[in-house]
Structure 1
Amino acid sequence: MRINLFKILHDIFGFETFRGVQESVIDRVMASQRTLAVMPTGAGKSLCYQLPAVAMEGCCVVVSPLIALMHDQLRSARALGIRAASLTSVDEDWRETQGQLLAGDLDLLYVAPERASNEGFRALLERARICLFAIDEAHCVSEWGHDFRPDYRLLRPLLDRFPQVPRLALTATADAHTRQDILAQLGIPDDGLIISGFDRPNIRYVVEPRDGPGRQIGDILASNPGPGIIYTQTRAATEKLAASLGAKGRPVLPYHAGLAPEVRARNQAAFITSEDMVMVATVAFGMGIDKPDVRFVVHAGLPKSIESYYQESGRAGRDGSPAVATLLWGAEDFVRARQRITEVEQARQQGERARIAALGALVETAGCRRAVLLRHFGEDPPQICGNCDNCLSPPASIDATTTAQKLLSAVYRTGQSFGLTHIEAVLTGKSNDKIIQRHHDKLTVYGIVGHDEAAMLKPVSRALLVRDALQTNEHGGLMLGPQARGYLRGEEAIALVLPPTRAKRGRRNNDINPADDPLFEALRACRRALAIEAGVPPYVIFHDSTLREMAEQRPRSATDLARITGVGERKREAYGQAFLDVIAEHVATA
């Protein structure tokens, strides 16, 4: 059986060896065991059920949360020669699909959780031969997960009706609490948990305070010519930013839940097939994105949790090639996030506060960003990763504890109702009508901050807002927060991280998007033409990494081509000669 699995791996998927924990996961599936696999995006989760589906007798039922994601995976599976179909509300060929299922003519059947929990669907499966249940994006089953879907919690009766059929849950984002909940909800034993780690070493993490976001985002686009996603926090911001960026010549489209369904579908389809488009979107542009060649992801505001950030930033570089994830944040993001806590039920408020604190640790650290992320998921990473902004350009930091005490004292002594501009004026000893009329020039904090220290007041106020030592009232005035006491007494210290210079921030990421050679560009042009002819996105033909390997190895025959990673039998037969011809022409004219 082992030889057969490796033969399938090479002939169908075009790989010589398994990656990471793939082999361990597949071994459990083939032994009819129940498994939860926590694997980072881009680690090859889909192969863990696609390969067994081809190797085993019967059909693998894949539960997936979004129709767009199902159809994208469907295209990719069919391109490999796998017999795959979906049963969704938009599939008009459902009778034919049901017939194929009952006749044993399907390897994979993709369904939504709403259908999977339906009694009629269960009855249909009892008439078919099922070899595996794969529950994709399994964190949706947990109330502790960041994308909870109630219908996922209704899957257990379906799974238990087929006790002999192995079940495989897959997710890229689940902390320890969420993992235990998934195991319990889906009936998977504790020893069925396989964790491959959360590290995405090809992604460079960059975190910056928002300081002219239009310019900052413009610099990012100039440095990254490939496809990218920019996440905004509101629909209005999405529309405004998409129009602004699009006016500069780059193909840019918006995506949010307020757009008509046909517009969203059209924009998403255009992005999926493009090799340079930028999508400006709210988080409505979510799990349905399975585009492997996204070269950058930008968060124009604070995500709702570390888990959300990990998943959303993880949409970059799924093909394993270098990518960059940039987070732009402001203190007001933390203020709004804490205000939203009051809108959730009491039982979840403590968890929400913990999520905000974790984001604060990420944006404020002077150390490795990747280490903060990985520690959140229970890992023990090295102190330096070598591929985040802080590791590549270690920032300077200064002790701002005394400045924080002065700022908090001024907020308190002026009555906890004034904004930062007035507080700064008092601390620096300015004289104006507002200060004189309110006798703030008589306070002990008046004029206690010198010129050099004054430059620290704004970043210190931002740091105190992040830490909940400062809060704002409904008019924007500053007041002491629940964490203020420790800073006022000097029991809590603040090491202020000094942001890099603008020149460093705007530097071009040449190592993220290096200049490609003419052969690679010719292979991309060939792929583009084949994709248009086949009506599929270019990456369904071959990933960029496969084309780069072709450009390096320059295969001259079908046998040589079979040694290129990602070139399986079906794709070699369908497209191989076209790429061999491009390589031969390039070699002849070089």
Structure 2
Amino acid sequence: MLLKETKDKLLPTLKTYFGYDSFRDQQEQIVESVLTKNDNLVIMPTGGGKSICFQLPALLFNGLTLVISPLIALMKDQVDGLKANGILADFYNSSQEKFEQDEIFDKIYSKELKMLYVAPESLSFLQNILNETYISCIAIDEAHCISSWGHDFRPSYQQLGFLKNTLPNTPIIALTATADKATRADIIEQLNIPKATQFIASFDRKNIELEVRPANDRISQIIKFIEKQPKESGIIYCLSRKGTEQIANKLKQQGIKAAAYHAGLNFAERTKTQEDFIYDKTQVVCATIAFGMGIDKSNVRWVIHYNMPKNIEGYYQEIGRCGRDGLKANALLFHSYSDVIQLRKFMNGASNEEVQVAKLERIKQFSEATTCRRKILLSYFGELLAENCGNCDVCKNPPQLFNGTIIAQKALSVITRLKESEAIGTVIDVLRGAQNATILDKGYDKLKSHGVGKEISWRDWQQYIIQLINQGYCEIAFHKNNALHLTDFSKKVLFENEVVNLTKPIEYKEQPVVEKTTKTKKPKKDSLFERLRNLRQEIALAENIPAYLVFNDATLKEMERARPMSEADLLDISGVGQRKLEVYGEDFIAEIIAFSNEKIKTRKKRDTHKITFDLYKEGLTIDEIAEKRNLKSTTIFSHLALLYTEGKAIEIYDFVSREEVEKVRLAKATLESPQALKPYFEHLNAEIEYFKIRLALTIIDREG
């Protein structure tokens, strides 16, 4: 049971450090479970808010939270994001100098760190602190890497079972975006956390539009796709290193800022490519699957699979790297049989070849599906969607359906009589009344359902059963020799006569892509969102951090909608915490007020700065106006600057001296007129306060 004193700190801590007023689905229960020192397994989609599940408890624990992360390259991005929120965090890895590593130990000993990111390979260097004197919690990110059933198995993760033995009273939280039932069980067993509470969030990322196209003239299609959203970031996944280089070069020839990322590049080259993408210097990265894991870049708007992925887990994780901010995003997959053949060759001789081949077949079936693609994705992870999603290519261009309830009942009945122990091939053989060795040896020819579907061809039965799997009426148990299992939806078909709609099996042929004729909305050139995005970029360049660490796109959209003109109003925006309010609030409020002033001529609405002007005319001081309006004095000074720009009778030199204005004028010439105030403040050695810099710039601009 969580103490009331601790529980009462949850929401204020969430708002102060992360800018959110409320928790998302299951986050609060997970945080409370960690704080009560339970072990936990969290399955939550990319962009679902996994990180907060261990980052927030880390702020409330007395000691250090150790975060196990698979890639050195992504640790810096994670730590930069935490530091931007005012959280004491660092990373430890082999790329650091010894003095840097010693500094980290000093911070741990003096309790100056809340979180430390480390790769599994580096744990042996942390023996001195791997005890319950220092460690309060262990978070294992990308936990699917521990399992050979998983899609991204890493042997280094299999050593992590020792952590529970070494720190038996320390809570372990394992997190991943993608794990089927077999992988979940394996994670719990290998980490020695049999009593772990499992939290499985919805896998439904409704904001991502799913689309599959035949692989005809892919480069031409990709260029047209990018040209429709020229300012947006995206990732193109390829099978080979050579493919990433070729595609990147072809995009660059079209004037698109693209770069390749693969294991053949050295560490410095890979790091530069990743950072250029994070800092919005590169628009498109053409990458092998290693790119993107753990990167919190929230404004990736699209993901394209140039080649077929090798399984649904990988596909799902990769498309999850777009639309993390909850805004509209696109996932485009090109389907090609040559890719399937190539992937099949890669799997020859693998230790778990049978599982890999079965999972490849499943993603192939997804690509060929004539039913809602989101239903297929969700049912694969054990989540059943009753209605079609309306946001995939199949839903938007639905095929002709027929009532296939009898066909479904026959298939599900045979699966039942086979006690859910056989794969799709044997199920079809029983349906068709086959007399082969397997059927006779196991006595399946004696079953009541033997031959119940002999009028349907073997190939057609295969497509019908794939459709039933895709709709969630049955599922493949990959860890049980690919046996077909029933789901909760099956009972409705077998016992409640629920109608099942199927499509007639067709010979799949790659058709030429028909370009949509629907008009796409062009973004307004001078929208408030664009103004705020430009300001964000200016601040990001000045502070040398990625733009999305200032505020993400969703927060800027909310600012555009709500038009906050005071600090209290800005703090109500989701994504604005106390620290970011203090650091960036004044600049964004001023930009919103300035934009609103430019639009004021077209409407008669009385804006907040005019109320300030009325009180100023009454003779109230700045502090008195601020107190009366429940605003900070810095906000009142922003109002005065705007009023002065409008030509109102403001004695501006009552608040800033002519000497200070001249200093700012010289700084402006030196700094080449940045929009943010911080560069001025630092250039002037913090001798002139922010509000005076704002007023001085207003005077200079008006004189100019």
Q: TM-score, normalized by length of structure 1?
A: 0.80
- In structure 1, the residue matched to 2:109 is 102
Deviations 1:183-241 (A, max 9, x none): 11112235511100211111111011101112111121122330000111111121111
The superposition leaves residues 310-363 of structure 1 with CA deviations (integer Å, 9 ceiling, x where unpaired) of: 111111111111100100021111222223332313xx1220121122112101
Offset, 1:170: 0.4
CA contact (8 A) 1:395 1:498 kept: no
Q: Does 1:326 align with 2:332?
A: yes
Q: Which moved more, 1:537-546 or 1:514-523?
A: 514-523
1:275 Cα deviation after fit:
7.0
Letter in structure 1 aligned against 2:187: I
**1:494 corresponding residue in structure 2:** 505
User: Among residues 139, 142, 148, which one is paired with 1:137 in the alignment?
Assistant: 142
1:358 partnered with 2:362:
yes
User: 2:318 maps to which residue?
Assistant: 312
User: Per the alignment, do residues 375 and 239 of structure 1 end up closer, same or farther by CA in structure 2, a change over 3 Å counting?
Assistant: same
Could you say which residue in structure 1 is the equivalent of 2:182?
177
- Give the aligned partner of residue 563 of structure 1: 572
Q: Could you tell me how far apart the structure 2 residues matched to 1:89 and 1:541 are?
A: 29
Tell me which structure has the larger Cα radius of gyration.
Answer: 2
Query: How many angstroms apart in 2 are the aligned matches of 1:291 and 1:385?
Result: 26
Instruction: State the AA in 2 paired with 1:103.
Output: S
1:135-214 equivalence runs, <5 A: 135-189=140-194, 192-214=197-219
Shift of 1:125: 2.8
Measured in 1, the distance between the counterparts of 2:525 and 2:70 equals 37
- SS of the equivalent of 2:300 reads coil
2:389 is matched with 385
Provide the C-alpha distance between the structure 2 equivalents of 1:516 and 1:50, rounded to a whole number of angstroms: 38
Conserved 8 A contact 1:371-1:381:
yes
Residues 1:217 and 2:217 aligned together: no
The change in CA–CA distance for 1:185 and 1:500 in structure 2 (over 3 A counts) is same
1:530 aligns with 2:539: yes
1:306 is displaced (CA, Å) by 0.6
2:553 aligned residue: 544
Cα RMSD after superposing both structures: 2.3
Asked whether the equivalents of residues 11 and 568 of structure 1 are also in contact (C-alpha less than 8 Å), the reply is yes
For 2:367, give the aligned amino acid.
V
Q: Secondary structure at the match of 2:151?
A: coil
CA distance in 2, matches of 1:276, 1:342: 37
The higher relative CO (CA closer than 8 Å, separation ≥ 6) is in 1
- Seen in structure 2, the aligned counterparts of structure 1 residues 272 and 211 have a Cα distance that, compared at 3 Å, is same
Q: Which residue of 593, 599, 622 maps to 1:584?
A: 593
Deviates more, 1:497-506 or 1:574-583: 497-506
Equivalent in 38, 43, 53 of residue 43 of structure 2: 38
Shift of the 349–545 alpha-carbon distance from structure 1 to 2, 3 Å rule, reads same
Q: Structure 1 pair 38/292, CA: closer, same or farther in 2 (3 Å)?
A: same
How big is each residue's C-alpha offset from its partner over 1:155-188, in whole Å with a ceiling of 9 and x where there is no partner?
1212321111111000000000000000111122
Identity, % of aligned positions: 40
Code of the residue aligned with 1:281 in structure 2: it is A
In structure 1, how many angstroms separate the alpha carbons of the residues matched to 2:566 and 2:556? 15
Between the aligned partners of 2:523 and 2:32, the Cα distance in structure 1 is: 39
Distance 2:513 2:338 in 1: 22
Cα deviation for residue 388 of structure 1 reads 0.7
Q: What is residue 10 of structure 2 aligned with on the other side?
A: 5
**Partner residue of 1:520?**
529
Which stretch has the larger CA shift, 545-554 or 281-290? 281-290
Return the alpha-carbon distance in structure 1 between the equivalents of residues 255 and 381 of structure 2: 40
Q: Distance in 1 between matches of 2:88 and 2:525?
A: 36
Equivalent position of 1:246 in the other structure: 252
1:44, distance to aligned residue in structure 2 (A): 0.7
The residue that corresponds to 2:678 in the other structure is none
Deviation at 1:64, TM superposition (A): 0.5
Corresponding position of 2:583: 574
Of residues 58-67 and 219-228 in structure 1, the stretch that sits farther from structure 2 once superposed is 219-228
Change in CA separation of 1:268 and 1:276 when aligned onto 2, cut-off 3 Å: closer
Q: Which residue number corresponds to residue 689 of structure 2?
A: none
Partner of 2:55: 50
Amino acid at match of 1:495: I
**Unmatched runs of 5 consecutive residues or more in structure 2:** 1-5, 403-459, 468-502, 600-704
Deviation at 1:150, TM superposition (A): 1.2
Aligned residues: 495
- Which amino acid is the alignment partner of residue 114 of structure 1? E
The equivalent of 1:292 in structure 2 is 298
What SS is found at the alignment partner of 1:502?
Answer: coil
> Any conservation in 2 of the 1:228–1:297 contact (CA below 8 Å)?
yes
Q: Are 2:90 and 1:79 equivalent residues in the alignment?
A: no
Residue 563 of structure 2: aligned partner: 554
| Aligned residue runs from structure 1 range 115-134, under 5 A | 115-116=122-123, 118=124, 120-126=125-131, 128-134=133-139
For 1:499 and 1:350, the matched residues in 2 are separated by 28
The residue that corresponds to 1:433 in the other structure is none
* CA 509–499 in structure 1, closer or farther in 2 if over 3 Å, else same: farther
Q: Which amino acid counterpart does residue 536 of structure 1 have in structure 2?
A: I
Query: What are the within-5 Å matches in structure 2 for residues 375-524 of structure 1?
Result: 375-395=379-399, 494-496=505-507, 502-504=513-515, 510=521, 515=524, 518-524=527-533
Deviation by residue 1:246-293 (Cα, 9 ceiling, x = unmatched): 111111111111123222211111111117701111223241432111
2:317 matched to 1:344?
A: no
Q: CA separation in 2, counterparts of 1:335 and 1:397?
A: 31
Deviation at 1:498, TM superposition (A): 7.3
| 1:372 and 2:383 are equivalent in the alignment | no
Preserved CA contact (<8 Å) 1:220 1:506: no
Structure 1: tracts of 5 or more residues without a match: 399-459, 468-491
Segment of structure 1 superposing worse, 271-280 or 351-360: 271-280
The amino acid across from 2:386 in the alignment is: P
Give the whole-Å Cα distance in 2 for the aligned partners of 1:33 and 1:509.
50
> CA 1:188–1:16 in 2, change beyond 3 Å: closer, same or farther?
same
